[in-house]
Amino acid sequence: MGVWQAPSNTSPPNRMTNLAIDNTTAGAKLTWSNVDLIQLQEKFHVCSAVQPPPMPPSSFTASMVSSSSVTLSWTDTSGDMAGFQIQRRVGTGNFMPVTSPSPGTTSFQDSVQASTTYSYRIRAVDSSTNASSYVMSTPVSVTTPSNGNGALAAPQNLTATADNTPL
């Protein structure tokens, strides 16, 4: 911690006394009292080092693999990040966290229930917990089929009648 004291022989309207700079913690802290703000500008270059959020991933898609599995795919467009956050909504419910894939990951396979609509959204997160916006204003959605193999269910209770018409 360093303390800079302004001379006390002047009293301009924008004056405070001491400036303390504490850079021993994770975030540097500035506190001041009775310091001449013009002198402060002359003595110190004050700037804010706010890290912008990472770029969101692109080309986000959801593909139905079967009635119990959905594959999510995306393109990693951010170089400086800690990973991703994927959220899922069942039907018209609220989005809830599903997984947090690590950096460089470009797909995720989700276990789902049959005959259900799922919506997904994804964003990138950096090590400072800054997060990008979610990809797309409309999340990607899939509706799983009712049977176990991803195909349409076979029709039931069909009857056939011959009509003797030549082909």
Whether 39 and 62 share a structural domain: no
Q: Is residue 95 part of a domain?
A: yes
Q: Based on the fold, state whether residues 34 and 62 are members of the same structural domain.
A: no
Between these two residues, 97 and 19, which has the higher pLDDT value? 97
DSSP string, 93-112: S--EEEE-PPTT--EEEEE-
Does some domain include residue 167? no
Residues 34 and 72 in one domain: no
For residue 30, pLDDT over 60 is answered with: no
pLDDT at position 4 over 80: no
Residues 103 and 139 in one domain: yes
Q: Does the residue 128 lie in any domain? A: yes
135 with 97, same domain: the answer is yes
Q: For 143-159, how does the pLDDT look when each residue is reduced to its tens digit (9 = 90+)?
A: 888 765 545 556 665 66
Structural domain count of the chain: 2
State the CATH number of the domain containing residue 126: 2.60.40.10
Shared domain for 33 and 69, answered yes or no, is no
Residues 148, 156: Cα–Cα separation, whole Å: 17
What is the model's pLDDT at position 12?
Answer: 47
Phi-psi map region of 40: left, alpha, beta (phi>0 left; psi -120 to 50 alpha): alpha
Query: Are residues 37 and 98 part of one domain?
Result: no
How does pLDDT run across 40-85, given as a tens digit for each residue?
555 555 555 567 888 888 899 999 888 889 999 999 887 778 899 9
Model confidence at 21: pLDDT above 90 = no
Write the pLDDT tens digit of every residue in 122-142: 999 988 888 888 876 678 888
Distance CA 7, CA 160 (A): 103
Tell me the pTM: 0.59
Residue 31 belongs to domain spanning: 2-43
Measured at the CA of 10, the angle between CA 7 and CA 16, to 5 degrees, comes to 65
